[in-house]
Structure 1
Amino acid sequence: MARIKDVAAYAGVSVATVSRVLNDSPSVTEETRGRVYAAMAELSYVPNAVARSLRTEATKTLGLIIGDILNPFFAELARAVEDAARKAGYTVIIGNADERAEEQDHYVRTLLEQRVDGLLICPTAEVTPLVEEVARAGGPLVFLDRTLPGVDVPSVRVDGTDAIKELVGHLRKLGHRRIAFISGPARLSTGRERTDAFLVATAEHGLEIRPEYIEAGDFQSGSGRTLTARLLDLPEPPEAIFVGDNLMALGALNEIRARGLRIPDDVALASFDDVPWFPHIDPPITAISQPAAELGLRAVQVILDRLAGRPAESAVLPAVLVVRQSCGEERGAS
């Protein structure tokens, strides 16, 4: 197994520099940090924190790293993980990666130093050397909500393909033909999957989607508002806007309201991700609901299977369309 001095020699830096990289020191330049990470990957270097965590006594703690703690979906997911873990006799330590790879790695390293028994990660888009090393070392690791290409780790996620197809059919039945989609970032598996599902569904329903009707946001409300404004400013704006998560839907709603437009009379609105306040908006928002509670429960079951040496299989749960009034009502409906 490679040692820290081997990494230093390969990267052409001192052992102290490698140590500073491993401890997220701001004094290291990005160029040097990149060389060290590349050397770690090339030499299959396992940081001491990873190695020690694999040899330690059980602490009855689990680490959970989520994408964005301000997102209601992740808040509900974290609560479900905590509840399920507590019933199994475990305490959960939560880290908020804020959708940034460096923050994710900071929490991975910190949680391993804290000797957590297992890690549940909602991974960022980047496959970092540290996450690769944890996976390669065979540590108890489970991906939650998202996956990473080329990393062989059990995952628990939601498949919204059927629900998106049902939503597109619902919109078509209501007479909407010009349908826009504000997706999440393509670098995230959830962003790619929802965009692909939307394009397949519209094709199956015989709807031609113009390129300008597809926009990519960042799962934050600001991008939802900005991209909704761009869509509404088109010479022929869409009749319906489907938004790829609840925070971007909030931004879309703010922009529509600011323009004095009526939902669904002037523009229909639907969201991926249902949240408790959607039914209380006027009109209530049609949304695709993810089973966050079941997702958290299944993820804890998988990580406990890994800790017990039992086979740990990935799980895919279905999303469900919840039809409300924000897209309109079928003719003849009360």
Structure 2
Amino acid sequence: MTNIKDVAREAGVSVATVSRTFSGSTPVSEPVRERVIQTARRLGYRPNALARSLRGEGTKTLGLVIPNILNPFFTTVARAVENAAWDEGYSIMLGNTGEDVVKEARYLEDLLQRQIDGLIISPVRSDSGHLRSLVEEVPVILLDRTAQGVEAPVVRADGRRAVGELVEYLASLGHERLAVISGPRATVSGDERLSTFVEVARRKGLSVPPEYVRVGDFQRESGARAMRELLDLDELPSAVFVSNNRMAFGALREIRARGLSIPEDLSFASFDDVGWFDLLDPPVTAIAQPVVQLGTAAAGMLTKLLAGERVESVIFDAELVVRGSCAAPPKRSGRDRSRESA
């Protein structure tokens, strides 16, 4: 990792001159300033944002990088982050990765070049290598998802208890064949929701065979594809759990396209509770996260880091919200019903 001494040596100036160049504390001649900046760019050096902030030299700008601005969860989180940051005198620069690792890396590079004071990020993958060196350049808060090898505070909702309650609820209704449409296992949220659902189901003696487990990418199209694959099976599941609201939207459209009814033919539940779930007929059973609290906490944690305070990770609980989309399983399979209605 390039440091200020490397820049000073390559530029042929003192460390103090490099420091003055970036801090603007005292004037530096234009030729020297240009030489230092060009050397820093060539070596990939950036002034430490935390050190600048502690000296009162920050830009008062925070970066927020999220996977999908179309996802109501992240839309609400972003608004909460912005409001909380604004109250502390910071503005937000937003990056929307679209669950694309390459795009994420480009956004991070751009935000660092713009000298943000700190960063809140929900990583595309937990194993992305470019995230590991990030905390050495700028204070970081991980939002909703963790990252391997990144030593940074995390703020997220733990959905395991609520997912377990959902499985137990479905079991109490008499369901025996459960299916799940999961997010990517490379994300902590995708892996946690899938592993918890399957583990609790098996502990209750319920069947979750491999063909009932489908993996999407948290996008609407993958939810539709996964549901299509489930509905094409010879024996349909009696209940389906989808692990985020975007995939749930695609899955619901596919169910309707097949002429099936919820919950008469198939019980349905989703992780993430969005505003339109309770407007549907029937309203959708969902696992709700404290979205506004997550965004507010993330911004508050980052501003505390920038003030030199110690910050610990914050884990909220998710909550099961039971509505009308789950009922006792049908006496005959949804597949038989769809054939009769064809």
TM over 0.5: yes
> Which residue number corresponds to residue 124 of structure 1?
124
Q: Aligned partners of 1:206, 1:46: CA distance in 2, in Å?
A: 59
SS of aligned partner of 1:48 = coil
Note the C-alpha offset of 1:208.
Answer: 2.5
Matched residue type, 1:114: R
Q: Deviations over 1:184-223 (max 9, x none)?
A: 0111111111111111211232213111111101101111
In structure 2, the CA distance between the partners of 1:289 and 1:124, relative to structure 1 (3 Å rule), is: same
Alignment map for 1:293-304 (pairs within 5 Å): 293-304=292-303
Note the C-alpha offset of 1:139.
Answer: 2.5
Does the 8 Å CA contact 2:255/2:261 hold for their aligned counterparts?
A: yes
In structure 2, the CA distance between the partners of 1:53 and 1:129, relative to structure 1 (3 Å rule), is: farther
Q: Aligned partners of 1:231, 1:98: CA distance in 2, in Å?
A: 26
> Which residue number corresponds to residue 185 of structure 2?
186
Q: How much identity, in percent, do the aligned residues show? A: 47
SS of aligned partner of 1:125 = coil
Does the 8 Å CA contact 2:141/2:298 hold for their aligned counterparts?
A: yes
Matched residue type, 2:303: L
Q: Aligned partners of 1:314, 1:103: CA distance in 2, in Å?
A: 27
Q: Deviations over 1:117-176 (max 9, x none)?
A: 1100111116445422222x2631111010011221111111100000111111111111
SS of aligned partner of 1:241 = strand
> Which residue number corresponds to residue 44 of structure 2?
47
Note the C-alpha offset of 1:52.
Answer: 5.5
Q: Aligned partners of 2:243, 2:128: CA distance in 1, in Å?
A: 26
TM-score (norm 1): 0.82
Stretch moving more, 111-120 or 199-208: 199-208
In structure 2, the CA distance between the partners of 1:129 and 1:170, relative to structure 1 (3 Å rule), is: closer
Does the 8 Å CA contact 1:46/1:133 hold for their aligned counterparts?
A: no
Matched residue type, 1:122: S
> Which residue number corresponds to residue 32 of structure 2?
none
> Which residue number corresponds to residue 97 of structure 1?
97
In structure 2, the CA distance between the partners of 1:54 and 1:275, relative to structure 1 (3 Å rule), is: same
Matched residue type, 1:124: V
Does the 8 Å CA contact 1:62/1:91 hold for their aligned counterparts?
A: yes
Note the C-alpha offset of 1:112.
Answer: 1.6
Note the C-alpha offset of 1:329.
Answer: 6.8
Q: Aligned partners of 1:55, 1:204: CA distance in 2, in Å?
A: 51
Q: Aligned partners of 1:195, 1:46: CA distance in 2, in Å?
A: 43
> Which residue number corresponds to residue 223 of structure 1?
222
Q: Aligned partners of 2:252, 2:218: CA distance in 1, in Å?
A: 14
Matched residue type, 2:228: A
Q: Aligned partners of 1:124, 1:47: CA distance in 2, in Å?
A: 24
* Count of aligned pairs between the two proteins: 288
> Which residue number corresponds to residue 265 of structure 2?
266
Q: Aligned partners of 1:128, 1:227: CA distance in 2, in Å?
A: 26
In structure 2, the CA distance between the partners of 1:54 and 1:305, relative to structure 1 (3 Å rule), is: closer
SS of aligned partner of 1:270 = strand
> Which residue number corresponds to residue 279 of structure 2?
280
Q: Aligned partners of 1:167, 1:2: CA distance in 2, in Å?
A: 50
**CA RMSD, Structure 1 to Structure 2 (Å):** 2.0
> Which residue number corresponds to residue 67 of structure 1?
67
TM-score (norm 2): 0.80
Gaps of 5+ in 2: 7-41, 330-342
